[in-house]
Amino acid sequence: MLKLGGKVIRIEVAGGATEVPKGDRTLVVISTNPRLPRSLRERSAYLVRAGVTEIPSGFGHYLQIGEAAKIDFGELENWQRVTSLSDDFSYLEDGDIIRLNSARGEIRVLYRKSSPHNTIMVTEQCQHYCLMCSQPPKEVDDSWLLDEANELIRIMPRGTGELGFSGGEPTLFGERFLETLRLTKALHPGTSIHILSNGRLFADRRFAADYAQIRHPDMMVGIPIYSDDPATHDYVVQAKGAFDETLRGILNLKEFGQKVECKRPAVPPGSREVSVL
């Protein structure tokens, strides 16, 4: 299993600086091209592996994998940073996109160019508290995740086959989330979009209509239903009335001709699964 996030070994700043600005959360595209145009270098992180001897100038970040890779600071300017990563991240390659949090010494891999299944988490908030949820909702303002998603979409390489959006519950951002979908369509018109949602916000007919107006040719909402018995479904998601709202949401989406996938996840013993629409 790939390690997608964690602590870095160390962060160093060229020129002998030791302090790293607080709150420094930066998205960078990984490059292995020493001849990348200078206009793109400042926003890129050059990947240095063991045995690399040529260190091109002008990149905003430099990543060295493992202790075997060493960068000569004498060739760098004072504002440039070198982040050392463990061998767990040796799979990183040209075109991948990462988040570096210098203040906390953390890395998160947000996009892998070679993966056909990239998913963007836009929030940890949710109006459900599912019994089996491996990522319980948090009552925090994490709207920065949606801002980050928009930034990621802007720098993602064209030609991405499929992109997912999940949470938490991504539709809780309402119109802001729809703007993210519009942005994705505009910049990546050939990319299939899959949204993992509980479907309840689509019970608002106007919201469902606005979603349909995006008119994306290949966009689908995946909605889990845990039982055909409303009480059982509501018990699993720990939200009274959730079953009825979810069904109204599905019906609204279908009325507007939208693709819906009714997922059949694992359900508690004794309950009945539902069929895929």
Q: Are residues 82 and 14 in contact, defined by beta-carbon separation less than 8 angstroms? A: yes
At residue 274 the predicted structure's pLDDT band, cuts being 50, 70 and 90, is very low
Note whether 79 and 130 are same-domain residues. Answer: no
| Burial annotation 35-68 (CB, 10 A radius, 16+ → b, else e) | ebeeeebeebbbbbeeebeebeebbbbbbbbbee
Contacts of 221 (CB under 8 A, 6+ apart): 195, 197, 199, 202, 253, 258, 259, 260, 261
Question: Is pLDDT at 78 greater than 60 in this prediction?
Answer: no
Note whether 224 and 125 are same-domain residues. Answer: yes
Residue 277: both structure tokens together: 């629409």
250-272 pLDDT, tens digit per residue, is 999 999 999 999 976 655 444 44
CATH of the domain at 163: 3.20.20.70
46-67 pLDDT, tens digit per residue, is 998 777 767 888 888 889 887 6
Note whether 104 and 177 are same-domain residues. Answer: no
CATH of the domain at 76: 3.50.30
Note whether 105 and 147 are same-domain residues. Answer: no
82-125 pLDDT, tens digit per residue, is 888 999 999 999 999 999 988 888 999 999 999 998 999 999 99
Question: Is pLDDT at 15 greater than 90 in this prediction?
Answer: no
pLDDT at residue number 271: 43
274 within domain boundaries = no
Single residue among 85, 109, 133 that ends a domain in this structure: 109
197-211 pLDDT, tens digit per residue, is 999 999 999 999 999
What total of structural domains would you count in the chain? 2
Q: Are residues 124 and 142 in contact, defined by beta-carbon separation less than 8 angstroms? A: yes
Note whether 80 and 131 are same-domain residues. Answer: no
Share of residues in the chain with pLDDT > 70 (%): 86
Distance CA 18, CA 38 (A): 26
25-31 vs 44-48, strand pairing mode: parallel
184 within domain boundaries = yes
Note whether 137 and 237 are same-domain residues. Answer: yes
Lowest-pLDDT range of 7-16, 85-94, 145-154, 155-164: 7-16
Q: What are phi and psi of 87, to 5 degrees?
A: -65, -10
**What residue numbers bound the domain in which 254 lies?**
118-263
Note whether 130 and 243 are same-domain residues. Answer: yes
Note whether 246 and 156 are same-domain residues. Answer: yes
- Mean pLDDT on 211-223: 97
Single residue among 79, 109, 139 that ends a domain in this structure: 109
Note whether 105 and 149 are same-domain residues. Answer: no
Task: Report pTM.
Answer: 0.88
pLDDT at residue number 70: 65
pLDDT at residue number 17: 52
pLDDT at residue number 272: 44
Note whether 99 and 128 are same-domain residues. Answer: no
